Amino acid sequence: MLESEIEMQQQGKSHKRLQRGFTLLELVIVMFIISVLSAIVVSMGSAASDWQKARESRTKLEETADAWRKWADFNTPAYLASWGSTATVTIAAADAKTTLVASGVASDARAQQLVTDGYNRAVRIVAGPVQTLAMERGLSAKFRDFYVVSAGENGAFDFVLSASGAVTATGDDVFVLVTGFDSSAKWTRDVLAKADKLEAALRSYYQGRYLSDPARDAFVTYFYHQGGNATTDPATNNVISLASSATTGALYSLNPNDMTSGTWATLLGLADADIRGLDGSFPFSLQLDGGPRVPSTSTPPFTAWIHANVPATQGAGTTLRYTASVQSPI
C-alpha cells in the first residue's frame, strides 16, 4: 500500500474518534476535576471572608479601645469609687454604648458601631481587678485595666479574667488591652502640678505681705489676717481674712468664695482653673499651723499646710493623700 494511502486511513480513524466524543470515563474524570477546583475556589473565598471579618474585628476593637481610654481619662475616680474592690467587672455592649454616649465620648450611632465586632456581634468590656503602682512623692495610683473582647468567628466568649488579673482565652476570641494606669496617673499629676503652683503662690503672697508691712514683724503671720488683730496686723484689704472665731488647725476647703475677704484665689494670683481638678471639683484644703494665732503669743516660723485630695489614689473613706507645707521665711 502506498504511503499516502496509509496516511489517509489514519486520518480517517482519528476523525471518527473525534466524531464519537468523550467516553463516560473521560466525562467522569472531567467532572471530578471541575468539582475539586470549585471546592478550592469556594474554600479560598470563605477563608478570605473569615480573614476579612477577623481583620475588621481587630480594627473595630482598637477603635473601641481608644474610645474607652478617653472615657477613663475623665472617669477614673468615679469608676474606682463606684466599683469598689469588686475583683472584675463585665460591661455588656448595651451598657457600654450607654456609657460612651452619656459621657460624650461618642454619638449614639457611633457608639453602636463601637460595641459590635467584624461579625456584627456585640462585644464586651471586661475590667480587671484594682491594681496599685507607686508614683512620685510617695503616692500610689490605683487603676484597673480594661479588655475589649470579641467572641470571634464561633460567637462564643471564651475569654476569662481571673480575680488576680490572669487572662485565659482558649477559643478564637480577639481582645485588646486598655491600661488604666495612664488615666489614673493623669489625675494624680494634675493635682500635684496644681499643688506646686499653689505652694509657690502662698510663698509669694506671704513674702509680699511681709515686705509691704513697714513693721515687718516676724511675730505676725502674714498668711492671713485674723479678725480682732487690727492693731498688730492692720492690713485688711486684699488679704486672706479669717474670723477671730476660726478653729485652731481647721481645714479650709479652697473654693473661690471660701474666705471672708474676696476671692482667695485671686488674692494669690491664681486663676479658677488653677484650683480645680479635672472634674471641676476643688481638691485642695488649707490648714494654718496651730490655727489662727494672736501675734503676741505666736512663735515663728508660721506654716500653711496644703492638703490635696488626689482622686485616683483614694480608697474607701480616705480623702487626703498629699500634704505640702509652706513656712514663713524666718
> In this predicted structure, what is the pLDDT of residue 75?
84
Give the per-residue pLDDT at 321: 67
Question: What mean pLDDT is predicted for residues 97-121?
Answer: 88
Interval 161-173: pLDDT, tens: 888 888 887 788 8
- Rounded to the nearest 5°, which phi and psi values hold at 160? -130, 130
What is the overall mean pLDDT for the chain? Answer: 75
The pLDDT value given to residue 14: 53
Q: Given this model, what pLDDT does residue 246 score?
A: 53
**Residue 152 near residue 170, CB atoms below 8 Å:** no
Place of cell 484644703: 285
pTM of the model: 0.71
For 241-293, the pLDDT digits (tens) are: 766 555 555 666 666 555 444 577 788 888 888 888 887 888 888 776 544 44
Q: Could you tell me the residue ranges of all domains in the chain?
A: 54-179, 186-327
Q: How far apart are CA 151 and CA 168, in angstroms?
A: 13
Q: Which one of 44-53, 98-107, 251-260, 292-301 scores highest in mean pLDDT? A: 98-107
- pLDDT of 101 reads 92
pLDDT tens, position by position, 82-95? 887 788 888 898 99
Element (H or E) spanning 12, and its range? Answer: helix 3-20
d(CA 311, CA 143): 11
Mapped onto helix, strand or coil, the DSSP state of residue 156 is coil
pLDDT of residue 187: 87
Which is higher by pLDDT, 81 or 228? 81
**How many Å apart are CA 107 and CA 266, to the nearest integer?**
38
**With bands split at pLDDT 50, 70 and 90, how would you rate the model's confidence at 77?**
confident
Lowest mean pLDDT among 6-20, 55-69, 192-206, 272-286: 6-20
Handedness of CA 40, 46, 50, 51 (dihedral sign): positive
pLDDT-based confidence at residue 73 (cuts at 50, 70, 90): confident
**Residue 293 CB-density burial (10 A; 0-12 exposed, 13-18 middle, 19+ buried):** buried
Q: What is the pLDDT of residue 200?
A: 92
Query: What's the rounded Cα separation, in Å, for the pair 161 and 69?
Result: 19
Instruction: Give the rounded percent of residues in the chain with a pLDDT score beyond 70.
Output: 67
Residue 174's pLDDT is 86
Contact 322/137 with Cβ under 8 angstroms? yes
List the single range of 18-27, 44-53, 159-168, 231-240 with lowest mean pLDDT.
44-53
Give the pLDDT score at 193. 92
**pLDDT over threshold 70, residue 22:** no
How many contiguous H segments (helices) and E segments (strands) does the chain have? 6, 14
